[in-house]
């Protein structure tokens, strides 16, 4: 299954920003595995003095963004689990800024953050590998919007790709 297999009713329009950033070269499971290795390698090549850099007042640091990716992936994966198990309970949204403010990523080493990212992705990957085709197609409600399990998987990847592009454009140029 690839991103172009998704139907418009499987996700809210604003998630297209992320889903459209996922390559159609690989399947969902393949890209979940490949993309985390690409991110870790990319981040390990960033100069040390950039990890706590803010390109403007009030903007997140690279460490903050990595923590944000970890937190968001956990939330998206939790939603995927609930929907795959046919849980019809609507799930609330979350305020990403509040999460970043409370996470204290700046006090952590970059290696610690990357290790956690890899562990979280491994758990996400194992979960998505366990889903049947029927479970991947199931749709639930989060933040008052419909979302399929497979769309959540592609959102995890696209969200990561989005922030990786921001690193390049705003932190490293």
Q: What is the pLDDT of residues 113-153, one digit of tens each?
A: 999 999 999 999 999 999 999 999 999 999 999 999 999 99
CA distance 149 to 118: 21
What is the pLDDT averaged over residues 84-111? 97
CA distance 46 to 33: 21
Q: Are 117 and 69 in contact (CB under 8 A)?
A: yes
pLDDT band at 61 (very low <50, low <70, confident <90, very high): very high
What is the pLDDT averaged over residues 58-80? 98
Q: Report residue 139: phi and psi, to 5°.
A: -120, 135
pLDDT band at 173 (very low <50, low <70, confident <90, very high): confident
In the CATH hierarchy, which fold is given to the domain comprising 28-171? 1.20.120
Domain ranges of the chain: 28-171
CA distance 43 to 41: 6
Percent of the chain scoring above 70 in pLDDT: 100
Chain CA centroid to CA 36, Å = 10
Structure tokens at 139: 């749709």
Chain CA centroid to CA 112, Å = 18
The residues facing 91 across adjacent strands are: 142
DSSP 8-state code for residue 36: H
CA distance 93 to 137: 21
pLDDT given at position 66: 98
Residues 8-40: pLDDT tens digits? Answer: 999 999 999 999 999 999 999 999 999 999 999
């Amino acid at each position: 299954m690839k991103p172009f297999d998704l139907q418009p009713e499987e996700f809210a329009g604003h998630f297209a920003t992320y889903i459209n950033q996922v390559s159609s070269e690989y399947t969902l499971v393949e890209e979940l595995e490949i993309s985390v290795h690409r991110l870790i390698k990319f981040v390990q090549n960033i100069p040390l003095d950039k990890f706590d850099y803010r390109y403007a007042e009030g903007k997140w640091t690279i460490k903050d963004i990595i923590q944000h990716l970890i937190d968001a992936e956990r939330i998206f994966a939790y939603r995927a689990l609930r929907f795959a198990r046919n849980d019809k309970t609507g799930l609330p949204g979350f305020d990403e800024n509040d999460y970043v403010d409370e996470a204290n990523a700046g006090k952590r080493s970059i290696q610690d953050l990357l290790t956690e990212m890899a562990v979280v992705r491994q758990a996400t990957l194992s979960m998505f590998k366990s889903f049947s085709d029927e479970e991947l197609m199931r749709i639930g409600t989060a933040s008052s919007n419909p979302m399929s399990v497979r769309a959540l998987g592609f959102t995890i990847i696209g969200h990561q790709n989005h922030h990786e592009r921001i690193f390049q454009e705003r932190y490293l140029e």
